[in-house]
Chains A and B, each alone.
Chain A
């Protein structure tokens, strides 16, 4: 491995007993602390006359509710906590690379895979909660001959959801790393700026796809049942 590109791979930074903890995990802990701390601080400063920050977050929530209504067909507040958490965490995780000394945790396949597994679980939980176990399982059999494809899709979309985020962020990290090796001063700056754009877009894409899957589990069976 060329010198200067080591940070592309996650490093082991500390050992907890037999478990090797990589910098992905420690950065994630830090981001969790920041997000949770900010949440508590923000909740205590909520007011009826919103300030600038509260306005921004209210606009974010409104935009997300519109998105849910646009994709899911009706306003569904149940998805809001999951989607906002995913969105805020992924955005923060993708852009944390611009802070010196930190590297995006999403460049390690484990992080996006964990998030995608959360989405995979949430899809079934919301589906069963909406339609009951039998009703939810029945929608797999709607045209019965599509059952194998449905089952493959469940796995493949989880993989593609995680690999998409991983590939984008990993690719950006490698690209910026190589550019820094070639032309250290000027060229990496616009590419780094563009990677901020990619970071936010990828977080948005992840949320929208999670929402599409959730809406599919809670609404597609509605058409069948109707």
Chain B
């Protein structure tokens, strides 16, 4: 690989751009599913709304952290790639 070969930048940006939608879409499906189930449960037992929504919040936070992991890895890839100096001299 020649010095200042743009391949590494193109690859990084392509991976970051294609990876974020995949990671986020799956988390979105999971969050929507969890919320729908919680709504079902509240509809069936309105008395338990407090407990259900508390649990839902905690579960959503857990799911959301997966999407945030994707975001953080993207940020590292794009702005603070530790392997970059092996490719660019």
Contact = CB atoms under 8 A, between A and B. Distances in A.
Contacts of B61: 164, 205, 208-209
Interface stretch (B10-18, B33-41, B68-76): B68-76
A208 B58 contact: yes
B50 A209 contact: no
B23 to A, nearest CB: 12
A163 interface: yes
A163 B57 contact: no
Interface in B35-79: 50-51, 54, 57-58, 61, 64-65, 68-69, 71-72, 75
Nearest to A205: B61
Contacts of A160: 65, 68-69
**Which of A70, A71, A171, A205 has the largest number of chain B CB atoms within 10 A?**
A205
Interface residues of B, number: 13
B71 A209 contact: no
Given A70-B50, A70-B51, A164 B68 contact: yes
Given A70-B50, A70-B51, A163 B72 contact: yes
B54 A209 contact: no
Q: Is the interface of A mostly helix, strand, loop or mixed?
A: helix
Interface string A157-189: 000100110111011000000000000000000
A209 B62 CA distance: 9
A168 B68 contact: yes
Interface size on A, as a range, is 10 to 19
B54 A208 contact: yes
Contacts of B72: 163, 166-167
Contacts of A71: 54
27 contacts: A67-B54, A70-B50, A70-B51, A71-B54, A160-B65, A160-B68, A160-B69, A163-B65, A163-B68, A163-B69, A163-B72, A164-B61, A164-B65, A164-B68, A166-B68, A166-B72, A167-B68, A167-B72, A168-B64, A168-B68, A170-B75, A171-B71, A205-B61, A208-B54, A208-B61, A209-B61, A212-B58
